[in-house]
Homo-oligomer: A and B are copies of this chain.
């Protein structure tokens, strides 16, 4: 059915290994024959069979991204930047929204060259059985894993945000984020916020967003505002949570200074100025790709945790 190298070879009156070489621009073939073969291939609509290729070369040039919760804006931005970065390195990225183990197992069967996983804690950890068979790199937080992890230095980020608030004259700060969760990234944000407030001896309140979605954050903020004022500075745990808060910011006497996690461009198209802390997502993406490609090519994993330095972005 599909056109194969043999078909092209027959048409061109050459052997199929010559076609194979010609199509990958091998110097072992005359320019003239190359041209003829390429033309014919194009015209016959030849589509290389990756299964066959991968079988002999052990390379699929495909990377799997594991992303079970396709719903948070900041992560969406990161994903598309990873896609770009991988493309530049010659890889095709494909994402699975299955649970991490299922997805990784399938990627393994498909003989992909590597996997990137958005780590969210225990339930998202890949077992050695899998990770010893394929290069893996995680975007997550610092913890014991047998594959490399890229993450933001949350501790520093919180410190930067709180210090900025103090510097602007605030004597009280609120944290608005997901307080009751297993998501390790959220837990770290919460914990470091508290720790830094204590160190600075500044008054603080913790407001539970009841989840990571904009909707839940909106509800939570509404009921919070029914009994409280927003009179200090506020730090939000994520872009979506910030958006939930913004539904109600009109209700308060005056807009407080808001710092949000996630360093993405979307903040620029909002009227209310939201300052942000975080690592620019294109930077995170590049790092993830660099580390992955490196472990694919050198074939040695380094079980390191790479901390990316956050920046403050005033708007």
Report which A residues bind B (CB closer than 8 A). 2, 45, 47-52, 54-55, 60, 62, 64, 70-71, 73, 76, 79-80, 83, 87, 92-98, 105-106, 108-111, 129, 133, 213-216, 218-219, 222, 243, 246-248, 250-251, 266, 269-271
- On whether the beta carbons of A269 and B219 are closer than 8 Å, the reply is yes
- On whether the beta carbons of B47 and A108 are closer than 8 Å, the reply is yes
- On whether the beta carbons of A98 and B83 are closer than 8 Å, the reply is yes
Name the contact of A97 in the complex, choosing from B64, B83, B247 (C-beta under 8 A): B83
A49: B residues at CB distance < 8 A: 55, 109, 111
A47/B109 contact (C-beta < 8 A), A222-B271, A269-B216 known: yes
A214: B residues at CB distance < 8 A: 214, 243
This protein's copies in its complex: 2
- On whether the beta carbons of B95 and A50 are closer than 8 Å, the reply is no
A47: B residues at CB distance < 8 A: 105, 108-109, 133
- On whether the beta carbons of B79 and A270 are closer than 8 Å, the reply is no
* Separation of A76 and B71 alpha carbons in the complex (Å): 7
Name the contact of A51 in the complex, choosing from B45, B52, B105 (C-beta under 8 A): B52
A243: B residues at CB distance < 8 A: 214, 243
* Separation of A60 and B60 alpha carbons in the complex (Å): 14
A50/B110 contact (C-beta < 8 A), A45-B129, A83-B98 known: yes
* Separation of A306 and B65 alpha carbons in the complex (Å): 32
User: From A210, which residue of chain B is reached at the shortest CB distance?
Assistant: B269
- On whether the beta carbons of A51 and B111 are closer than 8 Å, the reply is yes
Name the contact of A55 in the complex, choosing from B52, B79, B133, B251 (C-beta under 8 A): B52
* Separation of A248 and B248 alpha carbons in the complex (Å): 9
A218/B270 contact (C-beta < 8 A), A76-B71, A93-B96, A96-B93 known: yes
Shortest CB-to-CB span from A50 to chain B, Å, is 5
Q: Which of A48, A243, A247 has the most CB of B within 10 A?
A: A247
